[in-house]
Structure 1
Amino acid sequence: MTPAILFLEKQKARFTQHQYPCTAQDDFGAHAAEQLQVPPGQVFKTLLTEGEQGAVVALVPSSGKVNLKRLAKAAGVKKLDMMPPAKAERLTGYKVGGISPFAQKKRLTTVLDASAADYPYVLVSGGKRGLSVGLAADAIATLLQARIAEIAE
C-alpha cells in the first residue's frame, strides 16, 4: 500500500487501481497508457514546478506538456520553472515516475488540466512506478482542492 492508496481509502474516494509492468526509464505516462491500453490523453502526469512563492503541482495529460505561463496564471503566481527531479522526490516523498498527487509530504497548490473532464475518469500515479489510480476529474479536484484550468499544450 502506498501513501496515495491509503489516503484515497481514508477519504472514501471512488477509485480504481491499475497495475502494470513498468520497464520505462522516462516518459512514464506514455508507458502507462501503452501498458493499460488507454489513450495517452487519459493518463495524467504529476509535474512539480517552483517559483518565488513556492511549489505548484501540475496535472497534465501524458501526451502533452505543461505551459508554465498558463500554470503560473492559474496558480496566481508570477513565474514558475520546472523543479529538478531530486528536489521533487524530496518534497513529495515519491520517486520520479511514481509521484502521485495524493498524500505528498506537504499539501501544495495543485492545478488540474481542464481536459481531464473529457473522460469519465483519468489515471494518475498511485504512488509508485507501475501503479495508477483512476478517478473522475471532479473527484481529483475535490480531494486535492485543485484548481482546474487549461494548462497543457
Structure 2
Amino acid sequence: MSKSTPATLALTRAGLTFTLHAYDYDPSAERIGLQAAEALGEPPSRVLKTLMTRVDGRPVCVVLASDREVAMKKLAAAAGGKSAEMMAPAEAERMTGYRIGGVSPFGQKRKVPTVLDRAALEHAQVYVNGGQRGLQARLDPAQMRDALEAIVAEISA
C-alpha cells in the first residue's frame, strides 16, 4: 500500500501534523466507515467518513462520524441552499479522483465547499480517509477544519 496519495501530499503541504494508519479494507462491508472504525479499534465517533453530495446542484463535501447519517435539510441550510442529495458514486469518483471507500476531504481533484459536522470537534484527534482504501490519517479536527476552510454545523440526523 502506498503511503503517498493526493490526500497525504495535501496534508503535508497544509503543514498539518498527522499519522497514517493502515487497516484491512473489506470491500463487502455494508458501512465502510464502521468497518474502518472496527478495524482500527476506535469508536465510530472518531472515525469520520467523507461523503460527496449536491446542494442545489452544486458539489459539497461532507465529513461526519462514521456512525451518523446526514440530515439533508440541515446540510442544505449549512451550505446556503434549499435542498441536498447524495452524489452518485461514479460521479463522486470522477469529481474527487478517489475510489469509493478511499475518498478523502483532502487532495480532491477540484476544491469544493466542505461541511464538517460540529460533533467532530469534540475530539482531540479524529481519523479521515488518507486517500485510498485501507488508509486513515489521524489528526486534530480543528486543524482539519481550518485547512479545509470547512463550514461547521450540526448536520447529522
Which of 24, 37, 46 is matched with 2:27 structurally?
24
- Secondary structure of 2:131's match? strand
TM-aligned CA deviation for residue 78 of structure 1: 1.4
What CA deviation, in whole Å up to 9, does each residue of 1:28-62 have, x standing for no partner?
Answer: 11011001101011111101111334111111111
Give CA-to-partner distance per residue, 1:66-102, whole Å, 9 cap, x none: 1111011111111111110000000000000000000
The CA deviation at 1:110 is 0.5
Structure 1 unmatched runs, 5+: none
- Extract structure 1 runs of 4+ deviating beyond 2 A: none
> Match for residue 116 of structure 1?
120
Structure 2, gaps ≥5 residues long: none
Which one of 77, 82, 97 corresponds to residue 81 of structure 2? 77
Any idea what SS the aligned residue of 1:50 has? strand
Map of 1:148 onto structure 2: 152
Distance 1:53 1:29 in 2: 25
Please give the secondary structure, in 1, of the residue aligned with 2:27.
coil
**Partners in 2 of 1:89 and 1:21 — Cα distance?**
21
Q: Is the 8 A contact 1:24 1:31 kept in 2?
A: no
Where does residue 8 of structure 1 map in the other structure?
Answer: 11
The equivalent of 2:70 in structure 1 is: 66
TM normalised by structure 1 equals 0.96
Q: Is the 8 A contact 1:53 1:77 kept in 2?
A: no
Residue 51 to residue 75, structure 1, CA distance change in 2 (3 Å): closer
Aligned partners of 2:55 and 2:79 also within 8 Å: no
CA distance in 1, matches of 2:87, 2:26: 24
Give the count of matched residue pairs. 153
